[in-house]
């Protein structure tokens, strides 16, 4: 009977231990959501051309914490910096690009060639169009194309200085936004105007009688107005988005080369650039291919010389292949990849493709030369097709 209190104490102690064990198990299950598929994996936020503010919480690999065996998902928190100058930190890949000879020597060299050839060639085109009285409706398209190219060339000295000074922007936030908008605007203005020219030639050759009854000058001015209005609306996001950031690792201000991770995570940027590439690249390309294929087929049926249209078609395809296709394909791929995987390793080749895209300002005047040769032969074709 004397051992009864001792037995009761043991039973009470055992029950207490079991309760404590169950309580700790319950707390460990409800405190974190453990995913066995992610056990032992590290969360590493890969940034190349996106920079993180100093005040943001960076993700880190598990192995830096002694005894850590599982991964707890964390969300990156961004501080709202309202100052005019935002300082970012980037990784070694970005630093390597910003200091490479390709970025500081080759790209500005290409821009210098584009500026020299583009200004002289487009100025000569405008001068010839001013004294030409034939085909006023087509001249409206060529004038708008030459003006867009000249406007782009005027902003190139700022980009040339930017790259030659080690990707250091010295002209302020407003000028950076304007230069970026003009850069993209010129690309898509060219594609849309080329599509308009192709439609005009398609109507003149495939449907000549309908074309002769149209108010061509009014339609040409209306089409150019729609192109400029569309471009303006599409360039508004580039005007209102911050483009200049300071990199304390290099002591430079970048323009449109590095973006804040806290500001570029919204789906709007993905849909914006995809729609921009679709409206400004895919649709014009489909229209141009259809128009010139139909033109060549019609001329061949009437045994007319279609060699000049072959030249024009090839030149337009070259412009699209060199200037527009690489940049737009990489543009879509880059933003989809970054939005889904937070990896932007395609931004480096994308910037090179954008540099090649500037060559369209040199090639467009040659297109005007070829089209003027075709226009001189249009009256003869219309006379033949009216003959029964």
pLDDT of 305-341, one tens digit each? 666 777 777 788 888 888 888 889 988 887 787 777 7
What is the C-alpha to C-alpha distance for residues 217 and 165, in angstroms, rounded to an integer?
Answer: 46
96 assigned to some structural domain: yes
81 assigned to some structural domain: no
Residue 121, domain extent: 87-386
What is the C-alpha to C-alpha distance for residues 71 and 60, in angstroms, rounded to an integer?
Answer: 10
Q: Could you give the 3-state DSSP secondary structure of residue 53? A: strand
Give the residue-averaged pLDDT of 184-203.
Answer: 91
274 assigned to some structural domain: yes
Give the residue-averaged pLDDT of 111-123.
Answer: 93
292 assigned to some structural domain: yes
pLDDT of 69-110, one tens digit each? 333 334 444 544 445 667 777 667 777 788 888 888 999 999
Residue in 58, 59, 54, 48 with CA at minimum distance from that of residue 92: 48
Portion of the chain with pLDDT greater than 70, in percent: 67
Among 81-85, 89-93, 190-194, 267-271, the least confident range: 81-85
74 assigned to some structural domain: no
Domain total in the chain? 1
- State the DSSP string of 209-235: HHHHTS-HHHHHHHHHHHHHHHHHHHH
What is the C-alpha to C-alpha distance for residues 136 and 278, in angstroms, rounded to an integer?
Answer: 30
| DSSP code at position 78 | -
What is the C-alpha to C-alpha distance for residues 315 and 299, in angstroms, rounded to an integer?
Answer: 19
What is the C-alpha to C-alpha distance for residues 28 and 50, in angstroms, rounded to an integer?
Answer: 36
Assign 7 a pLDDT band (cuts: 50, 70, 90): low
| DSSP code at position 339 | H
CATH of the domain at 367: 1.20.1070.10
Cβ partners under 8 Å of residue 202, min gap 6 = 290, 291, 292, 294, 295
98 assigned to some structural domain: yes
92 assigned to some structural domain: yes
302 assigned to some structural domain: yes
What HEC string does 157-170 produce? HHHHHHHHCCCCCC
Give the residue-averaged pLDDT of 122-130.
Answer: 87
């Amino acid at each position: 009977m004397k051992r009864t209190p001792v037995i009761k104490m043991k039973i009470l102690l055992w029950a207490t231990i079991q309760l404590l064990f169950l309580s700790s198990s319950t707390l460990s299950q409800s405190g974190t959501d453990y995913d066995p598929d992610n056990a032992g994996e590290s969360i590493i936020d890969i940034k190349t051309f996106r920079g993180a503010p100093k005040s943001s919480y960076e993700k880190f690999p598990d192995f830096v914490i002694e005894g850590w065996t599982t991964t707890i998902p964390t969300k990156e928190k961004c501080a709202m910096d309202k100052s005019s100058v935002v300082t970012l930190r980037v990784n070694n890949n970005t630093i390597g690009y910003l200091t490479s000879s390709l970025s500081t020597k080759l790209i500005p060299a290409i821009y210098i060639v584009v500026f020299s050839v583009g200004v002289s060639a487009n100025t000569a085109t405008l001068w010839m169009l001013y004294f030409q009285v034939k085909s006023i409706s087509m001249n409206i398209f060529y004038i708008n194309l030459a003006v867009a190219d000249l406007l782009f060339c005027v902003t190139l000295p700022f980009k040339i200085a930017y790259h030659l000074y080690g990707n250091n922007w010295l002209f302020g936030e407003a000028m950076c936004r304007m230069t970026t908008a003009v850069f993209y605007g010129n690309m898509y203005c060219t594609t849309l105007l080329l599509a308009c020219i192709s439609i005009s030639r398609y109507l003149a050759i495939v449907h000549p009688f309908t074309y002769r009854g149209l108010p061509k000058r009014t339609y040409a001015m209306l089409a150019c107005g729609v192109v400029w209005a569309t471009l303006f609306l599409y360039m508004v996001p580039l005007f209102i988005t911050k483009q200049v950031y300071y990199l304390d690792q290099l002591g430079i201000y970048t323009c449109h080369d590095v973006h804040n991770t806290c500001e570029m995570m919204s789906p709007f940027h993905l849909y914006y650039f995809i729609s921009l590439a679709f409206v400004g690249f895919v649709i014009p390309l489909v229209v141009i291919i259809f128009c010139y294929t139909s033109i060549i087929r019609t001329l061949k049926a009437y045994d007319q010389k279609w060699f000049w249209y072959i030249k024009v078609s090839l030149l337009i395809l070259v412009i699209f292949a060199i200037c527009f296709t690489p940049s737009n394909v990489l543009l879509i791929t880059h933003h989809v990849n970054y939005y889904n995987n937070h990896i932007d390793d395609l931004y480096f080749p994308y910037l090179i493709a954008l540099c090649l895209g500037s060559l369209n300002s040199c090639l467009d005047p040659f297109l005007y030369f070829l089209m003027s040769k075709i226009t001189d032969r249009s009256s003869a074709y219309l006379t033949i097709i009216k003959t029964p």
